[in-house]
Chains A and B, each alone.
Chain A
Amino acid sequence: MQHAKNLEEYRSQCRQAMDDEFLRKAMDAFAVAYRTNRANAFADMNERELIAEIADAKDAAVANLDGLFAEFKAKAEKNGVHVHLARTAAEANEIIARIAREGGVKKIVKSKSMTAEETLLNHHLEADGYEVVETDLGEWIIQLRHEGPSHMVMPAIHLSRYQVADLFSEVTGQKQEVDIEKLVKVARRELRTHYATADMGISGANFAVAETGGIGLITNEGNARLVTTLPRIHVALAGLDKLTPTLHDALRIIKALPRNATGQAITSYVTWITGANECAPGPEGRKEHHIVFLDNGRSALAKDSDFRQVLRCVRCGACANVCPVYRLVGGHKMGHIYIGAIGLLLTYFFHGREKAKNLVQNCINCGACKQVCAAGIDLPRLIKEVHARIQDEEGHPLPSKLLGTVLSNRKLFHSLLRTAKWGQKPVVDGKTGYLRHLPLIFSKEHDFRALPPIADTPFRDRWEKLRPVVEHPKYRVALFSGCVQDFVYPEQLEAAVKVFAGHGAALEFPMGQSCCGLPVVMMGQTEAARAVAAQNVTAIDPGSCDYIVTMCASCASHLKHAYPRILEGDPRMADKARRFADKVVDFSTFARDVLGVDEGDFASVSAQTRTAYHAPCHLCRGLGVTKAPRELLAKAGLDYVVADEEDVCCGFGGTFSMKFPEESKALLDKKLDNVKKTGATQLVTDCPGCVMQLRGGAQRRGDTFVVRHIAEILAERVKPR
């Protein structure tokens, strides 16, 4: 659980987690194995189609929660079930405690339920004097340790077999061997006695099927079957979002959930309980069966047109499995009760702003979660929006306000950059070309990467001289630079101009353009994001060009996907923003697919240069561009070698690396180590932000490969015209 009072304290807790050697190793091994297992599990099915179907079906269900609840209740009651509706977590706990009281219960066995964790049900019941035993192995382990789960599907993933053996020795009063098989058997035997003596079983529910009035449970261990069979009372606690119209909806989710969770085609057990079943010690030989539905903000959320998609979540945990930040700090730090990407969101809605406000900042916006989500939830965007909401509610901290003000005013921003150029003169190291000292706003932890100085002449001041004359242009193209390339790496844009030459592209560089606005989105400055977007859409009239080309993956993805949404509510801008977005294209796709840049454009070279590639998050996931850059490298005659985890985030994340430098560094180190292992002499990528991170990091570490933007590498090799 997350109790940090402020960001500083939260960061220091994250640092401690990162120092946990076992955790780091376990998470790394898991992340690597998971990727393969998941890919195999989905190999012979149409994953995207399945996810889209689930998203649609869930949306439809969420839009009709009241109707589904009424239908479910009527069907279930016919079969002897008591159906309850709890508005709040406290109310749900009280209903369950009352059932226990009235039923003369002493001992309760539980099968894993995230919803019960959400309401802190155990605390409530224990305070009322009941003995509560978790029966899912992982849950039992963490219950004995008085901890919360650190993963939705594998709650005890943070613990080693040694810790478990010690724990079990304590519990049984007998020395236990450190042998996983044996430890599992010990749990089997110890827990069996609890099932036998419990009066009440509590489970969650993965589905509540309206057409049958029954619930479905997805488990591997089989404890849910015992918990719902042996005690005379069974209470299932389910979020309202588990309501689904038909059995078919549930069967469809079953196709995706286990595959996404652990790479299994299906879990060992799927248990369907419809009505009050036979149960020897129950009244008249039947189970006393209750289903408690929990609202806790869900029906309000269902009415929020933007955030209702959060209720699509099927709790597969995949968004944590692929999250590079979760992998570093683990679930106790990246979540409150619910963990990982979805946890950041649910914490805000179910547990409140106080618990969520630090957590939501610990997202690097890499998009890995969105790509695997079984329900197609746009997690990174919603996380940023929750961040923005919290700031709107609580007041914006000064640095983000300042950034917002500066970026909303292009002239001010650009003149600050020009002034900064003079200020840095004395600190630029003549030999390395990097800044000798970090600017004052940075603390020591930021020294893991060398920072480049601001260029002497920004691209915008070079443009008049560079502008190519194209006789019979085939395409009218506006270049969008983004601030980093314009002011720090103008040579990358120059290189692009060189690569494009001779293909009939008439280039323009509209001077009114400014920063794309992603940094202010990352800081939660919604207003500023809107102002900046409007400014760019005005500066580059989509009617005046066929393409808007950018060499920055982050800008490209932001312009293309975020602008139409950001400007949606502005009647003067909305249509223009959509047309603008349609024309945005990244460098590699434009060069390969539009201009047809080909082997013939490059000087034939015999020397093979071992070249590694880093796939920027906003390019490979944000825009789905994966083949174009790799093919261009091959066309240019480079020896492209595949590094491990090419598409895992480099740790830049713009303003993220300002807030969480240790995490940024850890991600960077992993990335650079993987490149180093390939023996490449150069590392190529297609985002200036990634270049800044990778190049500066390699410089500090003394890595021998050079880091280049793909435009530079190609420009170097194009045949002179």
Chain B
Amino acid sequence: MTAKTNALETFVKKATAVSAKVFEVASLKEAFEYAVDVCDKKQACQLLASGCELPLSGQGQALCDEKQTKVIAAPALNKKDFAAFAKLCEGRGFELIDGGLRSRLAGIDIGFTVCELGIAETGTLVLDSAREDVRLATMVSEIHVAVLPKSRLRATSYEAEAEVLKFMQNGPNYLAFITGASRTADIERVLALGVHGPLELHILLLEDK
């Protein structure tokens, strides 16, 4: 087994262990289709941001009421890719947006990103979040769909170190290591996913050679 496939296997194993869903895609287009499909199937709670079905305070409820349609946010794509993505979303009854996420704090359905690096030993994604909308897309979404080009996978954090450092030295910068979905065990140590961030993390490993 080569070091590459080894790292890939480790990544999949570690990411899956922290409840991320990992798939392979052959192209970015396939990744868009995947996201559209997931959003499509999210019928059950079309109008319900996570937690809306629960009894809330007046203030909490008010925020829930702001969300009316399903939304995918893909804030960091280039024009061409975004257009291709938008085309796929047409006529499906949901919005694709690339910014203005501050007005969407009631929640969006899917945040779509392309990651800078992956770290196999822990199943971690490294995402440049210097843009505020990228941060928000991956925080207020219920599902974070993250594309990781296979060539960007590193075996350990030490191996990713030099590249990570570059981001930081080109400040200001906001870099996120993301491993699995947002989680808490604060009540009776029972694991619950999606406390502040996404409830689910889907990782799409992109063949890019």
Residues of chain A whose beta carbon lies under 8 Å from any beta carbon of chain B: 26, 29-30, 33, 78-80, 135-138, 141, 154-157, 159-161, 164, 171-176, 180-193, 195-196, 209, 211-214, 220-223, 225-226, 228-230, 247-248, 251, 254-255, 262, 264-281, 286
Contacts and interface: CB of A to CB of B under 8 A. Distances in A.
B55 A273 contact: no
Given A189-B56, A276-B172, A30 B186 contact: no
B57 interface: yes
Contacts of A184: 184, 187, 192, 194-195
B60 to A, nearest CB: 5
Contacts of A248: 158, 161
Contacts, number: 225
Contact of B136 (A135, A159, A229, A266): A229
Contacts of A270: 176-177
Interface stretch (B22-30, B85-93, B124-132): B124-132
Contacts of A230: 102, 105, 136
Interface string B104-125: 0111000000000000011110
B132 A277 contact: yes
B57 A161 contact: no
A277 B157 contact: no
Given A172-B57, A188-B195, A266-B179, A160 B188 contact: yes
B57 A226 contact: no
A161 B184 CA distance: 14
A254 to B, nearest CB: 7
B184 A221 contact: yes
B178 interface: yes
Nearest to B197: A222
B187 A188 contact: no
Contacts of A161: 187-188, 190
Contacts of B171: 78-79, 212-214, 274-275
Contacts of B52: 189
Contacts of B21: none
Given A272-B168, A272-B173, A226 B196 contact: yes
Given A174-B57, A265-B121, A273-B174, A188 B50 contact: yes
A254 B157 contact: yes
A156 B56 CA distance: 22
Interface centre among A157, A229, A230, A262 (most CB of B within 10 A): A229
A72 B51 CA distance: 41
Contact of B182 (A29, A172, A221, A251): A221
Interface of B: 14, 18, 49-52, 54-60, 62-64, 102, 105-107, 121-124, 129-132, 135-136, 139-140, 157-158, 161, 164-165, 167-169, 171-190, 192, 194-198
A266 B123 CA distance: 9
Nearest to B162: A247
Given A79-B171, A190-B56, A276-B172, A212 B165 contact: yes
Given A225-B176, A265-B14, A280-B132, A172 B60 contact: yes
Contacts of B129: 225
A403 B106 CA distance: 67
Interface centre among B55, B121, B181 (most CB of A within 10 A): B55
A226 B176 CA distance: 12
B119 to A, nearest CB: 8
12 contacts: A137-B195, A173-B58, A182-B54, A211-B165, A213-B171, A229-B136, A266-B122, A272-B173, A272-B176, A276-B172, A277-B130, A286-B172
Contacts of A276: 172
Given A278-B130, A278-B172, A279-B132, 11 more contacts: A138-B184, A172-B60, A186-B56, A189-B54, A189-B56, A212-B168, A228-B174, A268-B183, A275-B171, A277-B172, A281-B102
A174 B64 CA distance: 16
Contacts of A281: 102
Contacts of B139: 222, 225-226, 229
Contacts of B123: 265
Contacts of A164: 187
Contacts of A277: 130, 132, 172-174
A174 B56 contact: yes
B176 A221 contact: no
A248 B188 CA distance: 35
A147 to B, nearest CB: 14
Nearest to A26: B188
A286 B131 CA distance: 11
Nearest 6 Cβ contacts at the A-B interface = A275-B172, A222-B197, A174-B55, A138-B186, A185-B51, A275-B171
Contacts of A229: 132, 135-136, 139, 174
B58 to A, nearest CB: 8
Contact of A268 (B173, B179, B187): B179
B144 to A, nearest CB: 10
Contact of A214 (B105, B173, B185): B173
Given A214-B173, A221-B196, A274-B174, A137 B64 contact: no
B157 A222 contact: no
Contacts of B176: 225, 269-272
A186 B52 CA distance: 8
A500 B86 CA distance: 85
B183 A186 contact: no
A257 to B, nearest CB: 13
A221 B195 CA distance: 6
